[in-house]
Amino acid sequence: MAGGTWTASEPKVRPGFYINFQAAATAQIGGGPRGIVVMPVKANWGPVRQFVEITNEKELVDAYTASAANGATAYTEIRFALLGAPRKVLGYRLADASAAKASITLKDTAATPANVLTLTTKYETDRPFKVTVRENVVDANKYDIVLHEDTVLLYVFTFDKGASVADNAVAAINNDAGNKWITAAKVAAGNGSLALVSSQPFAGGNSGISGITNTDYTNALTEFEGITFNVLTLDGISDSSLQASIKEWVDRVRNDGKKALAVVGGSADDDQDVAAGNARSAGFNHEAIVNVTVGGMLDGISYSSAEIAPYIAGLIAGQKLNESITYHVTPFEDVTKKLTNSEVIASLQAGSLVLVNDGEKVIIEQGINTLTSLSEDQNNQWKKIRAIRVMDAINDDLLKAARDSYIGKVTNNDDGKVALISACKQYMEKLAADDVIMPDFTVQIDPQYHGEPPIAAPDEVYLYWEAAITDSMEKIYSTFIVR
């Protein structure tokens, strides 16, 4: 359904629910949970240019393996996102034109051997698969096809010998629910036998990682528009031109009603230069872009801010509506750069999200986005991640309610308007009960458009909302009198 922002000078063509948020002088905005992170990744296994839903580390390993070889990022970066406890992560494997599945063709035992069976990996990969064909040691009437990854035994497929041996092998391999690695195709019947081989490698496979460019990432953004998610992040990429494309995309889709946030970071070198990280934040200056400028150490390994950005994305996605990530304790053992007090202040003023080591643990200093220059319809609450998430949550919830229950279904008369207002008030009451907003909210038909004579067309309804939304306690000032 169409949605997004609206202006009085730009009538909408598509039926839909259009909502603007404008700052009231006393409004305080809170935040909300949605839970879905999307991330383009590089991997040597898994479906290419398809979404894979991951909720835990086992699913991650099953989908992409735990390998970080040859530039693979899926395991490390999705694992970081999972540490933030989102509802789920949607991985999207990128690959270049060289990506190819590996295969091996098995022969029969004729004097002039014929090709009878081709084994092909399920995904484009450079994993070192090998195959052994042997006679089953228990039943002389059966063959085993043994699959290895390098020297690690993965699986054994057992099937009958005989004239239909190729068909038997195909059935044993393709119909095995435990088979995660290969498919089989009959080439010819042959003489009803298979030549025995030992540890023969698959050939022709390529993970398609080495030639991935920014274009692959920007093409993925087009696919992301068609799915439901809340926070976008990259797999450790700090390229400035790609990040600029991310900003343009986020700005466009948010204006079209898709309320996505993005979390990015910088290189290890940039993390050592506070000014460089802050300059990156200034370049974004956007309420829906979070820029991490300090890296972290985990299990003795140093990671750049771009590499830990998925953790921040997962954390943002996993927070409840009435929670903030300010002072949230992270899993990191240390930071890659310890900021001075003045550097922390400069970073916060620049819209940079920083991690600090408080002497006992690594915490997030403040849950802010990169917005520093406010428009006339914004106030300082727009600088808070929590605030933006609440507005996004309300937008998404109302879009769904309008689509499911009102657009094209309710007559636009007084009774219909009363029903709409009643439903909106019930929604706001639920937010108030959850300490997301204060209970003294207003939802009403906007008299500016529904006065006498009415400006609104017969198929239009204009609503006026006002609410003071709770915020987290972040600054505590106290006076201690010593007597």
Tens-binned pLDDT, residue by residue, of the chain (483 aa)? 566 666 666 667 666 666 665 543 222 222 333 589 999 999 999 999 999 999 999 999 999 999 999 999 999 999 999 999 999 999 999 999 999 999 999 999 999 999 999 999 999 999 999 999 999 999 999 999 999 999 999 999 999 999 999 999 999 999 999 999 999 999 999 999 999 999 999 999 999 999 999 999 999 999 999 999 999 999 999 999 999 999 999 999 999 989 999 999 999 999 999 999 999 999 999 999 999 999 999 999 999 999 999 999 999 999 888 889 999 999 999 999 999 999 999 999 999 999 999 999 999 999 999 999 998 888 888 899 988 988 888 888 888 788 878 888 888 898 888 888 888 888 888 888 887 877 888 889 898 999 888 888 888 889 888 887 666 656 555 666 677
Instruction: Give me the amino acid identity at 222.
Output: T
Place of tokens 């080591």: 357
435's CB contacts (< 8 A; 6+ apart) are 30, 322, 470
Q: How long a stretch of residues is the chain?
A: 483
Tokens of 196: 């025995």
Domains of the chain by range and CATH?
2-27+377-466 (no CATH), 36-95+211-364 (3.40.50.11780), 101-201 (2.60.40.4290)
Q: Of the candidates 113, 101, 27, which has an alpha carbon nearest to the alpha carbon of residue 384?
A: 27
pTM, full prediction: 0.88
Residue 402 CA to residue 310 CA, distance in Å, equals 32
- Predicted local confidence at residue 25, as pLDDT: 28
- Predicted local confidence at residue 27, as pLDDT: 25
- Predicted local confidence at residue 320, as pLDDT: 86
Directed axis angle between helix 414-433 and helix 385-405, to 10°? 140
Residue 173 CA to residue 471 CA, distance in Å, equals 57
Report the run of H or E that residue 265 belongs to, with start and end: strand 261-265
Residue 147 CA to residue 155 CA, distance in Å, equals 5
Contact indicator for 60, 78 with CB cutoff of 8 Å? yes
Report the run of H or E that residue 305 belongs to, with start and end: helix 305-318
- Predicted local confidence at residue 473, as pLDDT: 57
SS3 call for 184:
strand
Beta strands 129-135 and 197-201: pairing type?
Answer: antiparallel
Q: What number of CA atoms fall less than 13 Å from residue 261's CA on the CB side?
A: 39
Q: Of the candidates 8, 19, 35, which has an alpha carbon nearest to the alpha carbon of residue 467?
A: 19
